[in-house]
Chain A
Amino acid sequence: MAKQYILTVLASNRTGILAALANALDELGGNTLDVSQAVIRQFFTMIVAAEFPENRDPDVIVDHIRAVCRPYGAEVSLKDPSDEEVFESADDPVEKQRYVLTIAGPDRPGVLRFIAHRLAQHGIDLVDLQGQRREEDRTFLFSMELDAPLGIDSLQLRRELEIEFMSDSITVSLQHRRVLAALAHPEPMGFNVASPG
């Protein structure tokens, strides 16, 4: 019987870090289930869901990875998903619609806070978020993928956000995943990801 853990690794970004990490996981008998990796500034970050043999002590896992990745100054933390109380499960029966929200404009404090609060009020789940500020003209662009419950009026939501940010000349766009897919893929409709399901 295998046991699942969630690991996060933060290390300095130099060639070889992923190789070292993969080595460590292999030596521990681990098997990667789900992974997300990003490089922010000079740091390498990774979140991994992995399976380990039932009898593997969590402290051993953390210590071993830390030792193997020592040249990169890796910080490792580990969570046991079975310890956490789950409020929302991934296979929630409520039907969700996937949207992409993009916000861009002159940098100003509080934009993300406002949006996150507004989304929370509507019961919209944030699935993915990426963003950056350009130093040369101090503008920012971030985009997030949202899981909205069925029945959200996306025109209305976009208008609310637009009105909020209009005075700062920050632009807002909210697009359904299927609209983006229809525009971004050359295959005819019915053959591409814009089709439901």
Chain B
Amino acid sequence: MEHSTSFFSALQQLRQLPLDVRTITLGINVADCHDRSLHVLCESLYQRIVTKGAKLAAVCGEVSSLFGVPILQRRLCVTPIDRVAQGKNADDFVNIARTLDGAAANLHIDRIGGFAADVQHGMTSSSKQLIASLPAALSQTERVRAAVHVGTTESGVNMEAISLLAHTLLATSAATAHRNGDASAKLAILANDSTGHPHLTGACLGDGWGDLVVHVGVGAAAIIQHALQQQRRENPNAPLHELAATIQTAAFQATRTAELVGREVATRLGADFGSVDVTLAPTLRPHDSVVDLLPLMGIDRVGAPGTATALVLLLNAIRAGSAFASCAAGAYSRIMLSVLEDAGLSEATQSGTLTFDQLCMAANAGSSGLDLICLAGDTDAATLAAIISDQVSFAVLNRRPCAVRLIPVPGKQAGDAVSYSGMKNDAVILPVRGAGLATKFIERGGRLPPVR
């Protein structure tokens, strides 16, 4: 006789879901640590982070064992440092970065964000000093992630800042020339980060949050992959709307799990629960990224025509599923195509199926911007600035957040292979066509007016 209780049939559907949580981010307010003395400032920053974050690693472990849901990455973020350290010079900022790095290391945390500046309208002297400190700060630290917010839809784009950042990127990369310029991978250039939402790379604890906030990022790729594989077994030729429905359900389950885990971590830390981020991003696990979903949808390799459609389908389904799953799900979910962290993408760029131009255009199909892309070391600053401003313009026009992380690799030419410690994959330097042809445009400086 068949058991037909609802308990039993529900179980059969729900068992074996590969649930996991990609990130737990603890946001700590450090705005009141400001002091005229650098020593006092660093000491109080360090003490604040170490005290507030002391239990984070342990609590993540406890909650992960309790629910049987792995938490893949733990992060910290603090109030943007350009506001905390007003009136400090570039050397002082390097010391602050080292302090943040030390505090994160002490807590066994993978990343600390918040070494950040907001310059969408113009630059304060401390923002300028923070940007000037970046080459030293990023090459001398391990865990610090920096971010500069250069524009929003409402306020327009600060092109002067983008030019300055392009020079900074080159200097940062030159400072770590012996490590293939890996420090520049830790600088994200952001746009439309209006709430200071903590999920973009290098993000900070923005305005409007409490003193201590837990944000959670879902690891949806594995569960969507599982659902798509199951659907392929049952109906290999399912039409696209059924595909979308399957992805939507999987996104619902991933978001629910993430929220449950995030709320439990928040309760145990005595923190507010912030938001759930459903950005699809690669994790350290093999075959756990967006690119591995495309073959299941019928696109054999990323970059083939149809990739953009598939990405749009994915992103919409994920947004729909997560919006129903949780009131705390952010509306800013994107797809992260992080070339260096994603085996599939890296293979596609090496084989030539995926070009730089296609990666640029992917921003219009839901990608979060050019992420961890290696460029030739002799790329000039104006071309870098133009590449960044293109991505920022897409984001500003589409009213979506974006993050750009570029790595000009010193001494390498287009087509050369590079590898990094700590990154999963080797990468190939992508050729940029028409480099140097927009110099006069970029050198005009000034600002892009707001999008009406």
| Interface flag for B230 (CB, 8 Å) | no
In angstroms, Cα B61 to Cα A154, docked, is: 11
- Residues facing A in B219-262 (CB within 8 A) are 253, 256-257, 259-260
User: Smallest CB–CB gap between A31 and chain B, Å?
Assistant: 26
Distance (whole angstroms) from the CB of A150 to the closest CB of chain B: 8
B70 interface contact, C-beta 8 A: yes
Pairwise interchain contact B14-A183, C-beta atoms closer than 8 A: yes
Q: Of A15-23, A71-79, A118-126, A168-176, which binds chain B?
A: A168-176
- Report chain B residues within 8 Å CB of A39: 1
- Chain A proximity mask over B1-26: 1 for CB below 8 Å, otherwise 0: 11101011011101111010000000
- Contact between B260 and A156, CB atoms less than 8 A apart: no
Report the Cα distance A132→B253, complex, angstroms.
27
A180 interfacial by beta-carbon distance below 8 Å: yes
Q: Is the CB of A132 within 8 A of B3?
A: yes
Are B326 and A179 neighbours in the complex by a CB distance under 8 Å? no
Binds B, one of A55-63, A82-90, A97-105: A97-105
The docked-state distance in angstroms from the alpha carbon of A143 to that of B2 is 14
CA gap between A171 and B327 in the complex, in Å = 34
Question: Is A188 within 8 A of B19, CB to CB?
Answer: no
Q: Which residue of B5, B14, B67, B68 has the most chain A CB atoms within 10 A of its CB atom?
A: B68
0/1 interface trace, chain A 91-118, chain B, CB 8 Å (1 if under): 0000001011010100000000000000
Does B69 make an interface contact (CB < 8 A)?
A: yes
Interface size class of B (residues with CB under 8 A): 20 to 34
A130-B8, A178-B260, A183-B256 known; A188 vs B70 contact (CB < 8 Å): no
- B67 & A104 in contact (Cβ 8 Å cutoff): no
- When distances are taken between beta carbons in the complex, the residues of chain B under 8 Å from A153 are 65
**Cβ contact within 8 Å between A194 and B14:** no
Contact B14 A175 (CB under 8 A): yes
Q: How far is the CA of A155 from the CA of B70 in the complex (A)?
A: 8
Q: Is the CB of A152 within 8 A of B14?
A: no
**How close is B417's CB to chain A, nearest CB, in angstroms?**
36
Separation in Å of the B448 CB from the closest CB of chain A? Answer: 39
Bound CA span A102–B16, Å: 9
Q: Which among B3, B10, B65, B69 is the interface contact of A179 at CB below 8 angstroms?
A: B69
A1 contacts chain B at the CB level, 8 A cutoff: no
Given contacts A152-B65, A156-B65, contact A182 B11 (CB under 8 A): no
Q: Which B residues touch A189, using CB under 8 A?
A: 256, 259-260, 263, 326
Q: Tell me if A158 is interfacial: C-beta within 8 Å of chain B.
A: yes
- In the complex, A178→B66 CA distance in Å? 10
Is B316's beta carbon under 8 Å from chain A? no
Give the distance to chain A from B237, nearest Cβ to Cβ, in Å. 25
B14 proximity list for chain A (CB < 8 A): 175, 180, 183-184
* Nearest CB on B from A197, distance (A): 12
Residue of B nearest to A177 (CB): B67
A41 beta carbon closer than 8 Å to chain B: yes
Beyond A143-B8, A173-B16, whether A154 also contacts B68 by CB under 8 A is yes
User: Bound complex: CA of A151 vs CA of B257, how far in Å?
Assistant: 20
Q: How many whole Å from B252's CB to the nearest CB in chain A? A: 8
In the bound assembly, the distance between CA atoms of A19 and B245 in angstroms comes to 45
Say yes or no: is A7 at the interface (Cβ < 8 Å to chain B): no
B401 to chain A, nearest CB (A): 24
- Which chain A residues lie closer than 8 Å to B8 at the CB level? 130, 143
From DSSP, what is the main secondary structure of chain B's interface residues?
Answer: helix
- A152: which B residues are within 8 A, CB to CB? 65
Q: Is B64 an interface residue (CB 8 A)?
A: yes
Which of chain A's residues have a CB closer than 8 A to the CB of B1?
39-41, 132
Please, which residues of chain B bring their CB within 8 A of the CB of A154? 65-68
Complex Cα spacing A156 to B65, Å: 8
Q: Which residues of A contact B11 (CB under 8 A)?
A: 100, 102, 143, 180
B16 neighbours in A (Cβ, 8 Å): 102, 171, 173
A25 at the interface (CB under 8 A from B): no
B65 touches A175 (CB 8 A): no
Give Cα A154–Cα B66 distance, bound, in whole angstroms. Answer: 6
Bound together, the chains give a CA A182 to CA B259 distance in angstroms of 9
Which residues of the partner chain A approach B260 to less than 8 Å between Cβ atoms?
Answer: 178-179, 182, 189, 194
Contacts of B65 in A (CB 8 A): 152-156
Report how far A156 CA is from B62 CA in the complex, Å: 12
Chain B residues with Cβ below 8 Å from A41 are 1
What's the minimum C-beta distance from B316 to chain A, rounded to whole angstroms?
20
Expressed in whole angstroms, the Cα–Cα distance for A66 and B120 within the complex equals 85
Q: Which residue of B lies closest to A150 (CB)?
A: B66
Chain B residues with CB under 8 Å of A190's CB are 263
Contact B68 A158 (CB under 8 A): yes
Q: Which residue of A lies closest to B10 (CB)?
A: A184
How near does chain A come to B13, taking the closest CB pair, in angstroms?
A: 9
Q: Which of chain A's residues have a CB closer than 8 A to the CB of B19?
A: 179
Q: Which residues of A contact B263 (CB under 8 A)?
A: 189-190
- A6 contacts the other chain (CB 8 A): no
Cβ–Cβ < 8 Å partners of A132 in chain B: 1-3
Min C-beta distance of B1 to chain A, whole Å: 6
Given A174-B68, A179-B67, A189-B326: A141 and B257 interface contact (C-beta under 8 Å): no
Of the A-B pairs whose beta carbons lie under 8 Å apart in the complex, a sample of 28, sorted by A's number, is: A97-B66, A100-B11, A102-B12, A130-B5, A132-B1, A152-B65, A153-B65, A155-B68, A155-B70, A158-B68, A171-B15, A173-B16, A174-B68, A175-B14, A176-B66, A176-B68, A178-B67, A178-B260, A180-B11, A182-B259, A183-B14, A183-B17, A183-B253, A186-B324, A188-B327, A189-B259, A189-B260, A194-B256
Interface residues of chain A, those whose CB is within 8 Å of chain B, are 39-41, 97, 99-100, 102, 104, 130, 132, 141, 143, 152-156, 158, 171, 173-176, 178-180, 182-184, 186, 188-190, 194
Additional A-B contact list (11), CB under 8 Å, known A154-B68, A158-B68, A176-B67: A102-B11, A104-B15, A130-B5, A143-B8, A156-B65, A171-B15, A173-B15, A178-B67, A180-B14, A182-B259, A189-B256
